[in-house]
Structure 1
Amino acid sequence: MNRKEITRFLSELLVKKRLSGMGKYYASEVTMDWYIGKITHTMRRVDFIQFVPKNQTVSGIEHGDFYFYEVKSCKEDYNSGNGLTFEGDKNYIITTAETYKKIIKDVDYDVGVLIACPVLREIKDEIENPTQIDGNIDDWILKTAKNAHSKNRERPLSQLLFFMLRSGK
């Protein structure tokens, strides 16, 4: 598979296995800081943002968590300077085991890594000897190669929800 196909596979896998379902809220290709007043900021985009409320009460929604996900198909993609926007309560890179082995030393302490792994395969075996991606999402799952550590986000809930809503996806 080429870089574009791997990115599409990882994105579809993330949506199907982690972001979809009852009570799950997410948006893709979320643009942040596009334009603020007369000051133009560098536009930043995050591949996916997920909002997880504590519950459906006002307090539960106000205290919900935001998860940021960046999909990286290869080391060049990781180092491209595009899309390492990590401003959530928890932040993750979604990648393949092969790419994980190449970037692990560059990943910030608090950023987690989820790798595509065949459903019946142990993650340590996948990291040691990566499986060629075949494109069949039903045979794959995302497994945690590195845990994300919670961090204090700087943006308010209303602003992040607005960015998600504005993305339209």
Structure 2
Amino acid sequence: MTRKEITKFLQHLLIQDRLSGQGKYYASEVSLDYGTAKVRRVDFMQFVPVNCVYVDGLEKGHFISYELKSCKSDYHSGYGKNFITEKNYFVMPISVYKELTEELKKEYGIGIMCPVPKYRDTRDEFKNPTPLDKTDIEWEMKILKPAKTKSRDKSLTELLFCMLRSGR
């Protein structure tokens, strides 16, 4: 698969498996610090409210950022380390994770999410990755390394506005 095809595969699976459904709110290509010299962009941002019935349910909600990395050079490109939310994930094929394992250990608090064939153990998949272009397989996004919760750098209102402004 080409880099572009891998990115599309990761996008589709992330949306289908983690971002879609009732009570889930997300946007893609979310621009942060728009209008400044330090404009940054996050591939996907999700807002998870505690509930949608009371004001405090929204106020206590949290944000999750996802950066898609289709290959090792994509990871090293310098783009996509704009993590400012409570939880942050790199989403990548398990083969890329395998290549970057030592480097990713330095990324404190950032989680790793990879596509894995449904019902397959992640350890077995790590040892022997399944090619992503196999069409007869049902895939799911699995967390290989959970993200650590941290304080976000922006207010609830600003991040919701950035998501709304992205228009996606």
TM range (shorter): over 0.9
> In the alignment, what sits opposite 2:86?
89
Q: CA deviation at 1:28?
A: 0.2
**Post-superposition CA distance 1:12-57 (Å, at most 9, x none):** 100000000000000001111121xxxx322210000000001121
> In the alignment, what sits opposite 1:49?
45
Q: Which amino acid aligns with 2:111?
A: G
3-state SS of paired residue (2:74):
helix
Identity of aligned pairs, percent? 49
* Contact 2:117–2:137 (CA under 8 A) maintained in structure 1: no
Q: CA deviation at 1:138?
A: 6.9
> In the alignment, what sits opposite 2:55?
58
Of the candidates 62, 73, 77, which is equivalent to residue 74 of structure 2? 77
Query: Do residues 67 (structure 1) and 64 (structure 2) align?
Result: yes
Instruction: Give me the TM-score of the superposition, normalised by structure 1.
Output: 0.94
* Contact 2:64–2:88 (CA under 8 A) maintained in structure 1: yes
Q: CA RMSD in A?
A: 1.3
Residue pairs, 1:33-48, within 5 angstroms: 33-35=33-35, 40-48=36-44
Q: Using the alignment, how far apart are the partners of 1:160 and 1:50 within structure 2?
A: 10
Gaps of 5+ in 2: none
Q: Using the alignment, how far apart are the partners of 1:143 and 1:118 within structure 2?
A: 9
* Count of aligned residue pairs for this structure pair: 165
* Contact 1:9–1:135 (CA under 8 A) maintained in structure 2: no
Gaps of 5+ in 1: none
Query: Do residues 100 (structure 1) and 104 (structure 2) align?
Result: no
Q: Using the alignment, how far apart are the partners of 1:164 and 1:60 within structure 2?
A: 18
Q: Which amino acid aligns with 1:167?
A: S
Q: CA deviation at 1:111?
A: 0.3
Q: Which amino acid aligns with 1:80?
A: S
Q: Using the alignment, how far apart are the partners of 1:126 and 1:159 within structure 2?
A: 39
Q: Which amino acid aligns with 2:115?
A: A
3-state SS of paired residue (2:21):
coil
Q: Which amino acid aligns with 2:13?
A: L
Runs of 4+ off more than 6 Å: none
**Post-superposition CA distance 1:61-94 (Å, at most 9, x none):** 0010000000000110011011111111100011
